[in-house]
Amino acid sequence: MPRKVLEPRFSVEYLSILDSDGNLDAALEPEISPEQLQTLYRAMLLGRRLDERMVRLQRQGRVGTFAPIKGQEASQMGSVFSLRRTDWMVPSFRETAAMLWRGWPIEKLLLFFAGHLEGGQPAPDQRDLPITIPVATQLPHAVGLAYAAQYRGDDVVVMAFFGDGATSEGDFHEALNFAGVWHVPIVFVCQNNQWAISVPIKKQTHSRTLAQKALAYGLPGIQVDGNDVLAVYAASRDAVEQARAGDGPTLIECVTYRLGVHTTADDPTKYRSEEEVQEWERKDPLTRFAAYLQKKNLLPEGLEQEVDAEIAAAVTRFEAAAAADPLRMFDHVYAEPPPHLVAQREEMRERLRSDNAPPEGEPHPSPPMRGQRSTSRWRN
Amino acid sequence: MAVMTYREALNVALREEMRRDPRVFVIGEEVGLYEGAYKVTQGLLKEFGPQRVVDTPIAESGFTGVGIGAAMVGLRPVVEMMTFNFAMLALDQIVNSAAKMYYMSGGQYNIPIVIRGPGGPAHQLAAQHSQSMEVYFYHVPGLKVVRPSTPMDAKGLLKSAIRDDNPVIFIESETLYAVKGEVPDDPEFIIPLGQAVVRREGTDVTVIAYMGMMYRALEAAEELAKEGISVEIVDPRTLRPMDTETIIGSVRKTHRAVVVEAGAGFAGMGSEISASITECAFDDLDAPIERVTGENAPMPYARNLERAKTPSKEKIVDAVRRVCHAQGS
């Protein structure tokens, strides 16, 4: 009865293709057509510019709390770029660039952050889940989508996003465990942006990498330079192909950085140094991808202006939208509204009408006596 | 009409719905090979195979979340909680995802999921295993909550729950699994959600009760009949949406009401039903409404303490006498 090693020491692969200065490891360069490279860059730029605009709109009180993506464009775009339209994307709450790429119109995202219900409504043919706020709870849903694909024999891959903080949540571990046991077609993309609000990654986990957490569930885990869109794309493409071929799930850890605030309600100067931010600004995913494209002569002139004009037009359309209708809060509580909701909706409709109507009649009618009270109020 | 146990009625409901609709599948701990901790899924693995009768790792949040994801794309999962006490581990998935996804997606993704299993007082299952869990769920807009008291209801309501396009919390009871009753054979027999039933007609007082408490109320009614008090018993069956109309209708007839619940009372179903009666039928009442609830303590393990904690027939009898201003015999 010896004491022996059951598992050899594991290793976690790290992938980087394009460094901060735009230097390329040509042997690892993924095959992407010039047009696709330009499309990819444009999508990243659109994410960045809209992000900056959204922060300004929030500061002006035109939209509500918003979680900026600045610095994470490569992590998001490199990964979703490997999906087909028929695949599923499951976001957390910091995937604006990925959502735009997946087909959310800009004004719909603006409406979402202004609180309109229709902002969270995917188009009928769109395979995206809505933004979700409780951390990691979307991951079992993603496994459910993948299980449904397996159940029906659909050729579908699911890609699910989450942050470094989410890897401490039970739902993360449960999702990876289920995905491993069932061997479903899913890719888990962790955007490790170093900070869960004010808690740094060192306080989040004692593991050296987040990627290695996959190994406990019998899944491959890979760490990539999350500010290198080519590395993220290469790893995601491989993981998506593997899932599509029926070879099971992968965890990809994108090592990136949140250059901005956690949300517009946060002030990061309270918990992290300016030097740290500057160090990561030198690793900006857009700058290095632009340098790479420049060397290939693929950087189009006037792209920023074009993207800004697209955003401006969407903001104009968004601002023309009517105020949200209070009665719509009852629309999608149940598939068919039960009687008490119909009654509450009617009560609100009456109130809204009388709030707008001038006062009339007797100012203080006598209170009802026994037997005269209304008996139609259902509260359940 | 066949006579079968509550357990068999649930099993038949699952089997019929799985035969009827290939989108229906069962998922949970021990539902396959072991056929359920309480044998509700007996024979299902054999008939439908492991893709549709899914044994999962022990992770309530995980398999509930998986069910929610599968429901978003049109499957109809029936999630078994070994006991509803364990559903607390999945509470975020149920409250923040199942109940809200239809709303948050602007009507794009409804969640036709049933989460079922036993709950409430049983026989010496103690503090973490005997709670009346419905209170945690019926507060939440977007959820439907069912508590079926008889084998016929178990079948008819479970079938409705599976066909429903909303998330349905379906809480059975360990103490009722062996109860026998008549159950229609017709595979198209269903009982719509949101309909209460009058279990016993009476003229002097309305007792509102469900599950084990409904049976206790029936016993109390027998005893009270000997004293000349005629008790009407209303079983809500669905707690949300609640059939307030039937309850109010009965109170308007009897002018007195006693609400019985097995749980600890404070802010419980009794409070809600009492409030509804006060709001809708205050002028019809001849006496204040009485609530008979469990004591406000965790469920003890010892048999005699368990009995003392749970509402008894005697307590129901006393409450009815009080609202009827009767002294008893």
The CATH number linked to B139 is 3.40.50.970
Q: Please tell me the pTM assigned to this model.
A: 0.95
Q: Measured between alpha carbons, how far is residue A362 from residues A351, A355, A359, A366, A373 in Å?
A: 18, 16, 9, 9, 18
Domain A13-319 has CATH 3.40.50.970: yes
Interchain proximity A380–B240, CB inside 8 Å: yes
Q: How far apart are CA B261 and CA B264, in angstroms?
A: 8
**Residue that is last in its domain, among B124, B149, B183:** B183
Interchain proximity A335–B144, CB inside 8 Å: no
Interchain proximity B241–A371, CB inside 8 Å: no
What is the pLDDT, as a whole number, of residue A7?
Answer: 78
Q: Measured between alpha carbons, how far is residue A108 from residues A61, A105, A321, A323, B104 in Å?
A: 17, 5, 11, 14, 14
What is the pLDDT, as a whole number, of residue A243?
Answer: 98
pLDDT, tens digit, 9 for 90 and up, residues A149-183: 999 999 999 999 999 999 999 999 999 999 999 99
In a domain, B191, yes or no: no
Interchain proximity A121–B62, CB inside 8 Å: no
In a domain, B192, yes or no: no
Judging contacts by C-beta atoms under 8 Å, the chain A residues touching residue B259 are: none
Residue B212 belongs to domain spanning = 197-323
Q: What is the DSSP string of A308-330?
A: HHHHHHHHHHHHHSPPPPGGGGG
State both tokens at A185. 């077609």
What is the pLDDT, as a whole number, of residue A379?
Answer: 47
Q: How confident is the model at residue A118 (pLDDT cuts 50, 70, 90)?
A: confident
Q: For A289-308, what is the mean pLDDT? A: 95
The strand ranges marked E within chain A are: 13-15, 88-90, 158-163, 186-192, 195-196, 199-200, 221-225, 250-255
Closest residue of A to B89, CA-based?
A170
Q: How confident is the model at residue A70 (pLDDT cuts 50, 70, 90)?
A: very high
The whole-angstrom distance between A123's CA and the closest CA on chain B is: 8
The dihedrals phi and psi of B121, each to the nearest 5 degrees, come to -60, 140
CA atoms within 13 A on the CB side of B281: 25
A292 is catalytic: no
With a pLDDT cut of 70, the percent of chain A lying above it is 94
In a domain, B189, yes or no: no
- Does residue B172 share a domain with residue B211? no
The whole-angstrom distance between B239's CA and the closest CA on chain A is: 9
The region of weakest confidence among A36-50, A348-362, B76-90, B224-238 is A348-362
What is the pLDDT, as a whole number, of residue A373?
Answer: 62
- Does residue B15 share a domain with residue B75? yes
- Does residue B312 share a domain with residue B209? yes
Q: How confident is the model at residue A324 (pLDDT cuts 50, 70, 90)?
A: confident
Asked if pLDDT for residue A356 goes beyond 90, the answer is: no
Residue among B51, B108, B144 whose CB faces A121 most closely: B108
The CATH number linked to B239 is 3.40.50.920
Residue of B104, B162, B285 to mutate, interface with A, max A Cβ within 10 Å: B104
Judging contacts by C-beta atoms under 8 Å, the chain A residues touching residue B142 are: 333-334
**Residue that is last in its domain, among B149, B183, B217:** B183
Strand partners, B130: none
- Does residue B179 share a domain with residue B80? yes
The whole-angstrom distance between B145's CA and the closest CA on chain A is: 12
CB of B175 within 8 Å of any CB in chain A? Answer: no
- Does residue B219 share a domain with residue B288? yes
Amino acid identity at A278: Q
Q: Which of residues 251-290 of B touch A (CB under 8 A)?
A: 272, 275-276, 279-283
The whole-angstrom distance between B96's CA and the closest CA on chain A is: 8
Residue among B61, B97, B106 whose CB faces A121 most closely: B106
Q: Measured between alpha carbons, how far is residue A343 from residues A80, A350, B278 in Å?
A: 44, 11, 18
Catalytic residue among B8, B60, B232, B272: B60
State both tokens at B285. 């009442």
State both tokens at A101. 């790429």
- Does residue B230 share a domain with residue B173? no
Q: How confident is the model at residue A37 (pLDDT cuts 50, 70, 90)?
A: very high
Integer distance in angstroms from the first to the last C-alpha of chain A? 65
Residue among B105, B141, B142 whose CB faces A122 most closely: B105
Interchain proximity B244–A170, CB inside 8 Å: no
pLDDT (tens, 9 = 90+) of chain B, 329 residues, equals 899 999 999 999 999 999 999 999 999 999 999 999 999 999 999 999 999 999 999 999 999 999 999 999 999 999 999 999 999 999 999 999 999 999 999 999 999 999 999 999 988 899 999 899 999 999 999 999 999 999 999 999 999 999 999 999 999 999 999 999 999 999 999 999 999 999 999 999 999 999 999 999 999 999 999 999 999 999 999 999 999 999 999 999 999 999 999 999 999 999 999 999 999 999 999 999 999 999 999 999 999 999 999 999 999 999 999 999 987 65
Q: What is the DSSP string of A183-235?
A: T-SEEEEEEE-SEETTEEHHHH-SSS-SGGGGGGGT--EEEEETT-HHHHHHH
- Does residue B203 share a domain with residue B177? no
In a domain, B190, yes or no: no
Closest residue of A to B168, CA-based?
A334
A262 is catalytic: yes
Q: For A287-294, what is the mean pLDDT? A: 96
Judging contacts by C-beta atoms under 8 Å, the chain B residues touching residue A122 are: 105, 108
Domain count within chain B? 2
What is the pLDDT, as a whole number, of residue A380?
Answer: 47
Catalytic residue among A262, A288, A292, A345: A262
The dihedrals phi and psi of B22, each to the nearest 5 degrees, come to -65, -10
Asked if pLDDT for residue A374 goes beyond 70, the answer is: no
Q: Where are the domains of chain A?
A: 13-319, 324-380
CB of B48 within 8 Å of any CB in chain A? Answer: no
- Does residue B84 share a domain with residue B57? yes
Asked if pLDDT for residue A10 goes beyond 90, the answer is: no
- Does residue B71 share a domain with residue B176? yes
- Does residue B150 share a domain with residue B202? no
Q: Which of B136, B154, B144 is nearest to B92 (CA)?
A: B136
Q: Which of A264, A299, A257 is nearest to A40 (CA)?
A: A299
A271 is catalytic: yes
In a domain, B329, yes or no: no
- Does residue B178 share a domain with residue B232? no
What is the pLDDT, as a whole number, of residue A9?
Answer: 79
**Residue that is last in its domain, among B183, B217, B232:** B183
Judging contacts by C-beta atoms under 8 Å, the chain A residues touching residue B86 are: none
Judging contacts by C-beta atoms under 8 Å, the chain A residues touching residue B275 are: 379
Judging contacts by C-beta atoms under 8 Å, the chain A residues touching residue B280 are: 375-378
What is the pLDDT, as a whole number, of residue A376?
Answer: 55
- Does residue B276 share a domain with residue B145? no
In a domain, B231, yes or no: yes
> Beta strands A250-255 and A186-192: pairing type?
parallel
Residue among B70, B109, B194 whose CB faces A148 most closely: B70
Contact A163, A171 (CB under 8 A): no
